[in-house]
Amino acid sequence: MPADPIPAEDPTAESPTALVRRARKINRVLAETYPDARCELDFDDPFQLLVVTVLSAQTTDRRVNAARPALFAAYPDARAMAAADRAHLEQLVGPLGFFRAKTEALLKLSAALVADHGGEVPPRLDDLVKLPGVGRKTANVVLGNAFGVPGITVDTHFGRLVRRFGWTEETDPVKAEHAVGALFPKRDWTMLSHHVIWHGRRRCHAKKPACGACPVARWCPSYGTGPTDPEEAAALVKTQGPA
């Protein structure tokens, strides 16, 4: 529960230094609130993380995690997946929706890894974003969580929250990534992404944020967007990400 949740000052009136201090304070409190924050997609190696991140589009991490064991038992690496039987691959990814498009994406992605990188996932942003179906968001997930290379993951939760926090007004993911990145040391980028995304999944919901049960309410200019009554807000808090 926040103590004395008072709306932050208008962020447009903040000095750059004050904005940095407020942003970093929010991140520190979110780190304390979610000490177990991490990538919620299960993976054993960079290839698995790249594949499950691609599969996570328009579905939940939990569903992807449920499909993962059978998928990688059949196709454990890029070479095996590039040579996969299309019908069998469609069957394995079927529960995730859009199975034909996702199967096509995995076949093209795996073939490109084999042809251009010897079947290995490259640990560089410029190489990752050239792969079929891989944008900056997916690339930063892989870099930060599989290779330890700092990156900011601007998904729908992250974009929504950084605008609510007044860290940036940018709606373009790449511009938002750069704007937010300028507020934090590069070493913090990956965990910053996890903290913000976990908060977005558990408290700061798109339609009805739990403002009255928010640990960073006093520093948030959007306080009051959702219920401020503590009991009503507490009922909105989720203990885990979406099913």
Active-site residue flag, 155: yes
Based on the residue annotation, tell me whether 137 is a catalytic residue of this protein.
Answer: yes
C-beta neighbour count of 131 within 10 angstroms: 21
Rounded CA-CA distance 9/198 in Å is: 25
Which one from 36, 77, 116, 137 is the annotated catalytic residue?
137
Residue 62, Ramachandran bin (φ over 0: left; ψ between -120 and 50: alpha; else beta): alpha
Rg for the chain, CA atoms, rounded: 19
Residue indicated by tokens 């073939």: 111
Q: Which of 42, 102, 127, 155 is catalytic?
A: 155
Alpha helices in the chain (DSSP H): 16-33, 46-55, 61-74, 78-82, 86-93, 99-117, 125-128, 136-146, 156-164, 173-181, 189-202, 230-234
Contacts of 235 (CB under 8 A, 6+ apart): none
Catalytic residues: 137, 155
